[in-house]
Each structure stands twice: as structure tokens, then as C-alpha cells.
Amino acid sequence: MKDDSAHVVSREWLASVVAAALPDGHGLVPLGRFNPDPRGSSGSVRAYFGARCDCTTAAVLSVEASATKSKLEVEAALPALIRTLLAQRDAFLRMPCSTHQRLRVPGSGFTGGATNQGKPTS
Ligand SMILES: [Zn+2]
């Protein structure tokens, strides 16, 4: 079991390498417990990060890697994953706060709640 996990891309591993590769001041928070698709039923592994605006609206962002890829392959693609994640963050932060308020899920503080996840704006 342990031997396999050395090669299989897991959500935790993806989250940790992405977090480690983020630039200083990225302002993103790893959402380790946000896991709507633990089995990777879509054939991919996703790691989730939260971005928060000054208006207190937060968004759930995610990066995705194919579950069939090796860690080496994912690491090679890491710069693109980071770019995608930062682009999602920038798109969220560029929205006017009036839009943020509209997107908010009441009570959750997130723009995507349990019933509306997995669809980051791209
Ligand atoms: Zn805002």
C-alpha cells in the first residue's frame, strides 16, 4: 500500500506540491477538508484552495491533475497548474464586490458551497 502511494498522485500530495510552488503573497488557503470528489470519479485528482476578497467573500478554486499521471509528470506540469490557479484567483479578485455579493452562498462565506462546487470559473 505504502509502495503504491509513492507513485500514485493523491489529493494531499497534489495540494502540498502546489502550495509549495505558489509564489509569496499568493493569498490562497489550502482547503484540505473540502473534498466533494474523494474518489476522483472523474479520473482526476483535485486540490482545492480558497481565495478571499476584502469584502469577505471567498471562492473555492481548484487545480486538477490526471489520476493516471505519475508524480514526475505532474511535477513537470506544475508551472501550468500554478498559472491556472493564480488565473482563477485573479479572475475572482478582479470581479467587482457587487458581483461577489451576488455569488455568495448564504452562510457559507464561499461562492461555491456544498451544492455548487467543482465549477470554478475559467
Ligand atoms: Zn469583493
List beta partners, residue 52: 58
**Ligand 1 center–CA 41 separation, angstroms:** 33
**Ligand 1 center–CA 28 separation, angstroms:** 15
Task: Please report, in tens digits, the pLDDT of each residue of the chain (122 residues total).
Answer: 455 556 788 888 999 999 999 999 999 999 877 777 666 567 888 999 999 999 999 999 999 998 889 999 999 999 999 999 999 999 999 999 999 988 876 655 555 544 444 444 44
**Ligand 1 center–CA 77 separation, angstroms:** 31
**Ligand 1 center–CA 54 separation, angstroms:** 6
Question: What is the dihedral angle through the alpha carbons of 28, 17, 33, 120, rounded to the nearest 10 degrees?
Answer: 60
What is the DSSP-derived secondary structure letter of residue 36?
Answer: S
